[in-house]
Amino acid sequence: MADAYLDLVNTPLPGRIAKALGLPRPSVLRRYFPVEVLAPQPVLVTGAGAGADALADALLGWDVEVRRHVLPGEKLSAAVVVLDRAGTPADLAAPMLELGQAVRLLVPGGRVVGFLRSAADTTDPAEAAARQGIDGALRSVAHELRGGATANGIVLRGTTPTTDPTALGALRFFLSGRSAYVDGQFIEVTSAPAEGVADLAAANRSMSEWEGVPDQPLAGRTAVVTGAARGIGAKIAEVLARDGARVVAVDVPAAGEQLARVANDVGGTALQVDITAPDAAARILDHVGRRFGTLDIVVHNAGITRDKLLANMDASLWDSVIAVNIASQLAMNEQLLASPVFSDTGRIISLASTSGIAGNRGQSNYAASKAGVMGMVRAQAVAFDGAGRTINAVAPGFIETEMTAKIPPLTRQVARRLSSLQQGGLPVDVAETIAFLASDAAAGINGQVVRVCGQNLVGA
């Protein structure tokens, strides 16, 4: 469903009227295309210490023009604020105030990325206050930015350096158009095991090496996407294929025709399976094992809603949502992990939802299933820790799909504007985040829930 208001306010006269009336003025977001230039204007790297210096050097290696201080009047593609050494709240003032100068100079679709350490990794109250303070400050900056700009954070766990391959991978993701609808989010990064990063050189090659070469970080990988016949799942299949993966598109037999079309369009194979069937995992593993040998990426995307106030809920509505959205994933993961077909560096990515974070009226069954996904991901991640495999969740907010097209028009308009980016996301925004999490560049990201919600004001 197109957002006609967004199109309208991005024309001159209606744009001026909206400004005069103080109405929301969502910007057209800067989205990824395969040979995008990461930062056409200079990138500011602010903050003191070896971590900031090393990061500035790494950016130079990507052929990005780097500034260590704001030059008045010069436009910036991004501002990277490195706060990995903050020891007390007083340490935040200088770099944050410099960031304040930098955000004035950001180009439309500009980026703010913070580097910080986890408050959970210190027992010193002042240090924890500083670290948690950065979280609050950056989330506020994200609310303040306009023009389709975003602010996000990379949380270095333990002693992970700023130039860890996954930290750089996360930085590249945040700087790129791939993260267009990811705003006000923090991704935790741990030093990746070497075996999880099969192609480090590719993950960190310089911009001149990228120029004109479509980026295919998933080349040679086999990916299963459930619920791939339409909506977000179809777009995930398309983006994973664009990034080089062989895609097995899975959906219910009733969606067979649409499924075949998607599989055909992405040069993949279609597999008609109801994921709640007891033999679903066995059939998927058999299909992949016989054709490709190894399964590298599993995207648990299939999901349903059966909304009712809890007072009016019956067992069939409750049970069907739990069965599709979470029980099937638990059962499938168990069988994947017991199978030699699932790669030692395999990636599992599950679709959660902001409803599972903040709850939503009429969605107690759905929110239980989606919060369940997050619980499952965090627990499984502990078992995977450091061993090469990863599992993460992506929690979309309001995404323009057939599901959200059914929302009554007025409610839909309000829902769209209730985020810092003042618009709904597109299926491609969810798909780009999943493709990033599936790549080598994300090898040190495990057990995370990444919201793709434009910093939706979900109350959590």
Catalytically active residues are 366
Binder of ligand NAD out of 78, 341, 399, 438 (CB under 6 A): 399
Which amino acid makes up residue 459?
A: G
Q: Is 239 in the site for ligand NAD (CB under 6 A)?
A: no
The one-letter amino acid at 350 = S
Give which of 153, 154, 156, 152 is closest to 181, Cα–Cα. 152
Residues 326-355 interacting with ligand NAD (rule: CB under 6 A) = 351, 353
Tell me the C-alpha distance between 64 and 223, whole Å. 32
Shortest approach of ligand NAD to residue 308 CB, angstroms? 16
Comparison of 85 and 261: residue with beta carbon closer to ligand NAD: 261
Instruction: Give the total of residues touching ligand NAD (CB under 6 A).
Output: 27
**Subset of residues 245 to 304 that bind ligand NAD, contact rule: CB under 6 A:** 251-252, 255, 274-276, 301-304
Of 229 and 371, nearer to ligand NAD (C-beta) is 229
Residue 360 lies near ligand NAD (rule: CB under 6 A)? no
d(Cα 397, Cα 239) in Å, to the nearest integer? 19
Q: Which residues have C-beta within 8 Å of that of residue 265, sequence separation ≥ 6?
A: 238
Say how far apart CA 47 and CA 291 lie, in whole Å: 51
CA distance 273 to 283: 8
Instruction: Yes or no: say if 364 and 378 are a contact pair by the CB < 8 Å rule.
Output: no
SS3 65: coil
Candidates 30, 67, 221, 230; binder of ligand NAD (CB under 6 A) is: 230
> Distance between CA atoms of 229 and 224, rounded to whole angstroms?
12
Task: CB nearer to ligand NAD: give 190 or 365.
Answer: 365
Which of 133, 396, 444, 454: binder of ligand NAD (CB under 6 A)?
A: 396
398 is a site residue for ligand NAD (CB under 6 A): yes
Rank residues 128 and 327 by Cβ distance to ligand NAD and give the closer one.
327
Give least dist CB 366 to ligand NAD, A: 7
The amino acid occupying position 321 is V
CB of 121 closer than 8 Å to CB of 153:
no
Least distance CB 39 / ligand NAD (angstroms): 30
135: which residues sit within 8 A by CB, 6+ positions away? 116, 119, 153, 186
Number of other CB atoms surrounding residue 290 within 10 Å: 9
Min dist. Cβ of residue 301 to ligand NAD (A): 5
Neighbours of 383 (CB within 10 A): 11
- Decide if residue 320 touches ligand NAD (CB under 6 A): no
Instruction: Tell me whether residue 163 or residue 226 sits nearer to ligand NAD (CB atom).
Output: 226
One-letter amino acid of 6: L
324 binds ligand NAD (CB under 6 A): yes
> Distance between CA 404 and CA 261 in Å, rounded?
23
Residue 357 found at the interface with ligand NAD (CB under 6 A): no
Would strands 66-67 and 76-82 be described as parallel, antiparallel, or unpaired? Answer: unpaired
**Residues 112, 109: Cα–Cα separation, whole Å:** 10
Nearer to ligand NAD, 103 or 357 (CB): 357
Nearer to ligand NAD, 251 or 440 (CB): 251
Asked if residue 392 binds ligand NAD (CB under 6 A), the reply is: no
CB of 188 to ligand NAD, least distance (A): 22
From 25-33, 133-141, 166-174, 395-403, give the range in contact with ligand NAD by CB under 6 A. 395-403
Shortest reach from residue 393's CB to ligand NAD, in Å: 10
Nearest to 390 by CA among 299, 290, 280: 299
CB of 7 to ligand NAD, least distance (A): 20
Examine residue 404 and tell whether it contacts ligand NAD (CB under 6 A): yes
Min CB(388)–ligand NAD separation in Å = 26
DSSP 8-state secondary structure symbol assigned to residue 213: S
Comparing CB distances to ligand NAD, the nearer of 399 and 442 is 399
Count of CA atoms in the C-beta half-sphere (13 A) of 257: 0
Binding site for ligand NAD (CB under 6 A): 226-227, 229-233, 251-252, 255, 274-276, 301-304, 324, 351, 353, 396, 398-399, 401-404
